[in-house]
Amino acid sequence: MASLRDIRRKIKSVKSTEQITKAMKMVAAARMRKSQLGIIAARPFAVKMEQLVKDLCALERAAASAEHRAEHLHPFFQTRPDEGPAGLLLVTADKGLCGAFNSNLIKNGIEWLKAHSGRKANVAVVGRKGRDFLHRLRGFDMELVSETAGIFPKVNFTHAELVGKAVLDMYLEKKVSSVTVIYNEFKSVAVQRLVRFQLLPIAPFEGAEHPSDLADYGFEPDQPVLLEALLPRYLKAQIYRILLESQAAELAARMNAMDAASKNAKELRESLALSLNRQRQAIITKEIAELVSGAEALAA
């Protein structure tokens, strides 16, 4: 049985841990609110950009269909054969202590690598956790074409431009058949949803399939030049949204993990305090019993 000194030492240690986890929870909550405001602020621009690209995409596909030439499509719209190398953008966190946030992403990334095991994989990774894991990973024909770390929780559009440039270079220069992105999407404080979707080539948008349904645009410069300039910005805006979503999801996961850790520490501290009191009461009772027995022996 542990001594009273050992139990008191454990209580002090658990109490210190509880204070740390509570502080980390409060910091994560404050940062998460800022991240939510960032997502809300970026949303109007993203919506307008997506609507414009959707309309231009429909016009581009209509022109290609009318000329019966699939190669008329912009390279970002062209479907490539699956025999070539594949591309992956994996977005993880820079730090741990956020529950299963990183492990779920890495597990899904390994599943993607296994599904493309017969082909070379070009991977761009965001976050120290994903970068460190991929550096240790063996058994796959994989090339890390880009590593971005230390940007959370202060993501800005400059980071999205750097990651976007790496993804575009991967697609245009490495000639990958497609680029898949894996990240955690922020749904609510309690829910973060793992998302995996094809970033490139850009899939056909739902709706606005017929040019007659589109807004009547006047182009200056002409449509191909505008599309050439707009699509890279659209992809970087998409990546910026992904980084903001991942940042908010990470902070929410850390807040929940630290809240659970604080509750567990409190329960352990209360259990140790109860054990301390019981052991101390047992010692006092034993001493009283010894005194009573001694007094009775002297009286006899």
Here the tokens at position 186 are: 């922020």
Annotated catalytic residue 57: no
Torsion angles phi and psi, residue 186, rounded to 5: -85, 115
Residue among 56, 73, 98, 166 flagged as catalytic: 98
Written as one string, the DSSP assignment of the chain is ---HHHHHHHHHHHHHHHHHHHHHHHHHHHHHHHHHHHHHHHHHHHHHHHHHHHHHHHHHHHHHHHHT-GGGS-TTTPPPPTTS-EEEEEE--SS--STTHHHHHHHHHHHHHHHTTTS-EEEEEESHHHHHHHHH--SS-EEEEEEE-S-TT---HHHHHHHHHHHHHHHHTS--S-EEEEEEEE-SSS-EEEEEEEEESPPPPSS--SGGGS-----SS-HHHHHHHHHHHHHHHHHHHHHHHHHHHHHHHHHHHHHHHHHHHHHHHHHHHHHHHHHHHHHHHHHHHHHHHHHHHHH-
Is the Cβ–Cβ distance between 73 and 60 less than 8 Å? yes
**Which residues sit opposite 88 in a β-bridge?**
123, 180
Is the Cβ–Cβ distance between 130 and 109 less than 8 Å? yes
Active site residues: 98
